Amino acid sequence: MGDTPSFDFDAEMSRMHADADVWQRVSARLLSSSVFVLARIETADDGSRSPVLIAIEDPEGPVLPVFTSEDGIKSLIDARPELPESYVRLPCSELFAAVASTRVLLNPYHPFARMISPEEVTALVQEYRSSLS
């Protein structure tokens, strides 16, 4: 998990207004990199530990905040002190596959934040998996 690359989301998204294909390129790179997500770690009776992802609420219901940088997730924690300060780094493709029925808010509090619908999350995972075969 820890060796999944990250990328410079800011630099990529700053080009979005000049190039209509930027989101397609960014989303492909996003799925092959790691992201950060709020989580609390629970310990099972057998001693194994696993993350429990934490969603936030907006007027339309639950949404999972996902970040391309550790600084980004720290800005959410600073802005929302009621949220736990714990988070995990996960391969984006695995995370999106696990939360395909959830709305994802990519980089909240960022000028290039993007809401990704459950349908788009599913499509991104399918496109990513297709690109691997």
pLDDT, one tens digit per residue, over 38-89 is: 999 899 999 999 889 999 999 999 999 999 989 888 888 888 889 888 999 9
Dump the DSSP string for the chain: -TTS----HHHHHHTTTT-TTHHHHHHHHHHTSEEEEEEEEEE-TTS-EEEEE--EEETTEEEEEEESSHHHHHHHHHH-TTS-S-EEEEEHHHHHHHTTTS-EEESTTSTT-EEE-HHHHHHHHHHHHHHH-
Domain membership flag for residue 4 = no
Please provide residue 74's backbone torsions phi and psi, each rounded to the nearest 5 degrees.
-65, -30
117 vs 22, more confident: 117
Count CB-CB contacts under 10 A for residue 10.
14
The model's pTM is 0.80
Domain membership flag for residue 24 = yes
pLDDT tier at 26, thresholds 50, 70, 90: confident
Number of domains in the chain: 1
Residue range of the domain that includes 51: 9-132
pLDDT, one tens digit per residue, over 96-105 is: 999 999 999 9
Domain membership flag for residue 103 = yes
Please provide residue 95's backbone torsions phi and psi, each rounded to the nearest 5 degrees.
-60, -50
Domain membership flag for residue 1 = no
Domain membership flag for residue 87 = yes
CATH of the domain at 83: 3.40.1350.90
Residue 60 pLDDT: 93
Domain membership flag for residue 3 = no
Share of the chain above pLDDT 70, in %: 84
Residue 5 pLDDT: 54
